[in-house]
Amino acid sequence: MTIANNIKAIKATLPENVTLVAVSKTKPVSDLLEAYETGQRIFGENKIQEMADKWEEMPKDIQWHMIGHVQTNKVKYMAPFVQLIHGVDSLKLLKEINKQAAKNNRVIDCLLQIHIAEEETKFGLDQEELTVILTSADLQEMHNIKIVGVMGMATFTDNQNQIKKEFQQLKSIFDQAKTQQTNNCHLEILSMGMSGDYPIAIDCGSTMIRVGSSIFGGRN
Ligand SMILES: *Cc1c(COP(=O)(O)O)cnc(C)c1O
C-alpha cells in the first residue's frame, strides 16, 4: 500500500463529522507531500522544532497541529503558524500560548488533554483539574487563545473493552465540560483515536482522529 492509498482507504470509512489528522512525526517531507497530493491538509507533529522545519518547507495551505507534550519555552517557535495545540494540560502553558499568540496578533486554538489511560506516564488533567481551568478567572483574561475541545489517549492494550470504557469516559467529560462554555471556550472538538483504536473512538463520539502508522507506516 502507498501513502496515498492508505489515506484514501481511511477517509472512505470516516463519518462526515470526523476530521483526519495525518500524524507525520519522524517522516520525511517527501512522505508528507505524497499525502498532500491526495488533498490531505492537516498534519500532526509531536516536536516543535521538527514541525517548524516542515512548515518552512511545505506548501503554506497546510494546517499544523501540535499533538505532543509542549514545553513552555518552545511555544514561541510555533506561535506564528500553529493551527491547533492538542496537548495543553496547565494554566501556565495556556498563559504562555496566550502571550506568544498576542505577539503574533493571533488567536490560537487549544485542546485540553485529559488523562484517561491506566498508565501513569501519559500526560493530562483529571476532571477536577479540568474544571479548575475552565472556571478560572485567569482564563477570562486570555484573549489570544480559544479552548475548542479536549484530547485524550487510551491505554496501550489489546483489551477493546478497556479502550472503549476509556473513550466513553472522555466523551462524558467532554459533554459535561461543554456546559461550562465561556467567552474564549467553545468545546466542539473531541480528539481521540489513533491507528490502533480509531474505529472504537469514532463509535464513542470522536470528532478528530490522529493517525500516523496506518498512513505512513511504522516509525523507527
Ligand atoms: C504518534 C501519535 C499518534 C499517532 O499514532 P499511530 O499509532 O502511529 O497512529 C497519535 N496521537 C499522539 C498524541 C501521538 O503522539
Which ligand 1 atom minimizes the distance to the CA of 21? 10
Question: What does the pLDDT read at residue 118?
Answer: 84
Question: What does the pLDDT read at residue 183?
Answer: 78
Report the mean per-residue pLDDT for the chain. 95
pLDDT beyond 80 at 220: no
3-state secondary structure (DSSP) of residue 145: strand
Contact 175, 159 (CB under 8 A): no
Which ligand 1 atom minimizes the distance to the CA of 211? 9
pLDDT in tens, 119-144: 776 589 999 999 999 999 999 999 99
Query: What is the pLDDT confidence band of residue 117, given thresholds at 50, 70 and 90?
Result: confident
Ligand 1 atom 7, closest CA: 195
**What does the alpha-carbon distance between residue 166 and residue 146 come to, in Å, rounded to a whole number?**
26
Where do runs of H (alpha helix) occur along 38-151?
A: 48-57, 75-78, 91-103, 127-134, 137-140
Ligand 1 atom 15, closest CA: 68
Give 150's Cβ-side CA count (13 Å radius).
29
**What does the alpha-carbon distance between residue 144 and residue 105 come to, in Å, rounded to a whole number?**
8
Question: What does the pLDDT read at residue 29?
Answer: 98
Contact 112, 151 (CB under 8 A): yes
Question: What does the pLDDT read at residue 208?
Answer: 98
Give 59's Cβ-side CA count (13 Å radius).
14
Q: How far is the CA of 23 from the centre of ligand 1 (A)?
A: 6
Question: What does the pLDDT read at residue 180?
Answer: 81
| pLDDT, mean of residues 99-117 | 97
**What does the alpha-carbon distance between residue 83 and residue 66 come to, in Å, rounded to a whole number?**
8
pLDDT in tens, 154-178: 999 999 999 999 999 999 999 999 9
- Residue predicted with more confidence, 199 or 220: 199
Which residues lie closer than 8 Å to 176 by C-beta, 6 or more apart? Answer: 127
- pLDDT cut 70: percent of the chain above it: 99
Ligand 1 atom 11, closest CA: 210
Residues with Cβ within 6 A of ligand 1? 23, 25, 46, 67-68, 153, 194-196, 210-214
Which residues lie closer than 8 Å to 191 by C-beta, 6 or more apart? Answer: 21, 86, 111, 149, 150, 151, 152, 206, 207, 208, 209, 210
Q: How far is the CA of 101 from the centre of ligand 1 (A)?
A: 26
Question: What does the pLDDT read at residue 164?
Answer: 98
pLDDT in tens, 18-38: 999 999 999 999 999 999 999
Question: What does the pLDDT read at residue 145?
Answer: 98
Cell numbers at 197, concatenated = 483504536
pTM, whole model, 2 decimals? 0.96
